[in-house]
Chains A and B, each alone.
Chain A
Amino acid sequence: MAEITPIRTAAETGLVEHFASAKHRLPGDPGLRDAAFARFAERGLPHRRVEEWKYTDLRNLMRTAAPFAAPPDEGFVAETLQDAGPFGNVEASRVTFVNGFLARDRSDLGRLPSGLDIVPLTDALSSGHALLTRVGAVEGARDNVAYALNAAFMSDGAVIWVAAGTTVEQPLHLRFVSAGEGPFATATRVLLVLEEGASLTLLETHEGSDGTVYQANDVVEVVASDKASLNHVRFNGESRQALALSTLTAKLGTGVSFRSLNVVTGAEVSRHQVFLTFAGENSTVSINGANMLKTRQHADTTLLVDHATPHCDSRELFKTVVDDDATGVFQGKIIVRPDAQKVDGRMMSGCLLLSDGGTMYNKPELEIFADDVQCAHGATCGQLDENLLFYLKSRGLPQAEAERLLVQAFVGEAVETVGVDTLHDILVEIVEDWLRARG
């Protein structure tokens, strides 16, 4: 039998070298990092013959592995954070990362409302923080290569804890900014534990100025105890030269309300993965996204929603706008386990193609093993409706403005799931900016 050598590309070799030189400098147990890296090394980077990566051939899209960023100095951090970013006006507790490292002096760690506790990941790893036992709660994510690489390389992040019964009024904003001379790589990990009845709005922005070349691999893990509530809003405003892998995992107890919206305008190549497991009954989930893509951009959204328990609802609505030669990918799988009766799951992915050269891959899947459930999925792909355009133009709107109105309306359905007016206005403005830049 021929010997299998999964490590063969320049990027794969690079990752092996970077790991060998970095693992003893990184905080925490090197044994755990070795185990995580081994999960990657067994298979190498996923490619088009790996079903879950068929449309995002990472082996092909990631030609080299950038060296991991060094911790930035104070002056660089100050310069980088001069611009408050698109969520800068939102009143929030803020935790800021620059090039994958927590900027402690620029974060509200010492000024948090009661019931909200945040420990820097490096501290948590060094001290063996008790909550770290909650990491890796979602089984489906463990074998994922992006997740495994993050576990091997994570250099910073946060362990966030919300006490039982606490409603944190102000949103918590995790701001990840990448800047400076590239190429470099970053890997951050956030663990959010919501105790029983805890409630939080979590904002996550990923910002990078165009021209900065980097590879980001970010993981957010959510463990929500019974009756907890989370509204999660994520914005990918990465540099147009970035390769950005992101993973959201969530394990939900009973009676949990969970909402997540991911808005993407940035990165050259991005893949946002959501692994969600229902572990209790009567929980409600709404996972949504708006992807706005142009020149050469490739954005993948991959969902795995696992209904392991009965009486839960999940709603997924994704809107992708593809312009120029961009590529959109939506893969959504809903699994309903044999005992998960009375589950109601609905998944919809719509794509609007604004050019002849764009591509969209839509792959919704249902795997249902219970017999008393309601599940539906749909996928559409189309161009702007000529009849609607004529109607708008006949009322005096020039072509470009009519198009803008229709595109805004198309993504608006996903954007409005954010449910909070101030955040909605910011996201609408982000969509407007994208449309204005399009001309």
Chain B
Amino acid sequence: MLEIKNLVVQIEDNRILNGLDLTVNKGEVAAIMGPNGSGKSTLSYVIAGREDYEVLEGEILLDGQNLLEMEPDQRAAAGVFLAFQYPLEIPGVGTMTFLKAALNAQRKARGEAELTTPDFIKRVNTAGASLEINRDFLKRALNVGFSGGEKKRMEILQMALLQPSFCILDETDSGLDIDALRIVAEGVNALRSPERSFLVITHYQRLLNYIVPDTVHVMSGGRIVRSGGKELALELEANGYADYRSQAA
């Protein structure tokens, strides 16, 4: 369970989150929608531990552990996973090398034994089975020369391999065509379980047709201004964010 209490965050004297409260229960898929500049991506980065942001107040607890006191890698080992809006290309770092290093680093942090190579390869194959990932990609440098859709699928592959307990999808639908969106959504849905929570950040309702949320939160001006069920997303799609912009101001 993720609990965010009164989170106030700024970057270079620019206040972005203004006393944000949010709870995502175990097994819950929570969607966050909101206009540009409302602080959605900031929220995802702050949960994952990006250093550019200054947390002035509040706390973020994952299953009772205070994430704000942990380094990004410690948060990952504790179960946080951020699927990036723009996954980074890392020339010279082989995809398999990276995946193995990540998985073993997390296992080591949790006091588990490192995986043998055959065991590791088996897990990668299982994780990638439904994602239609070209096997040649695994031999290439991470994300280098991948299309937008391929990069997003690689994010989901990592998620499936690392088995986090709290997954953040930061505008995973951006830059995806319908087919890629469907494949990515199926990958995410396959990972839904009573033990795993999701925070799905999106501008558009379309993604939520594929990944059906349990709860929908509207974010504006750096806080959650309204919460509801999945029908709230449809309402937003019909009416836009105009009402919420005025509320925030």
Contact = CB atoms under 8 A, between A and B. Distances in A.
A357 interface: no
Nearest to A415: B92
B102 A395 contact: yes
Interface of B: 48-51, 71-73, 75-77, 80-82, 84, 87-88, 90-93, 97-98, 101-103, 105-106, 109, 141, 158, 162
B49 A406 contact: no
A394 B91 contact: no
15 contacts: A393-B76, A394-B48, A394-B81, A394-B82, A396-B102, A396-B109, A396-B162, A397-B105, A398-B73, A399-B71, A405-B93, A405-B98, A406-B90, A409-B90, A409-B141
A34 interface: no
A396 B90 contact: no
A399 B72 CA distance: 9
Contacts of B80: 394
Given A390-B51, A401-B105, A395 B162 contact: yes
B72 A393 contact: yes
Given A387-B88, A397-B102, 19 more contacts: A386-B51, A390-B72, A391-B84, A392-B98, A393-B73, A394-B72, A394-B75, A394-B76, A394-B80, A395-B73, A396-B105, A396-B109, A396-B162, A398-B71, A402-B73, A408-B92, A409-B91, A409-B141, A413-B91
Interface of A: 386-388, 390-399, 401-402, 405-406, 408-410, 412-413
A401 B93 CA distance: 13
A305 to B, nearest CB: 25
Given A409-B90, A409-B92, A396 B71 contact: no
Contacts of A405: 93, 97-98, 101
Contacts of B97: 405
B92 A410 contact: yes
A263 to B, nearest CB: 16
Nearest to A398: B73
Contacts of A408: 92-93
Contacts of B84: 391
A390 to B, nearest CB: 6
Contacts of A399: 71, 73
Which of A397, A401, A402 neighbours the largest number of chain B CB atoms within 10 Å of its CB?
A397
Nearest to B50: A390
A398 B105 contact: yes
Nearest to B103: A396
Nearest to A411: B92
A321 to B, nearest CB: 13
Contacts of B51: 386, 390
A399 B70 CA distance: 13
B88 A391 contact: yes
Contacts of A413: 91-92
B72 A409 contact: no
A394 B162 contact: no
Contacts of B103: 396
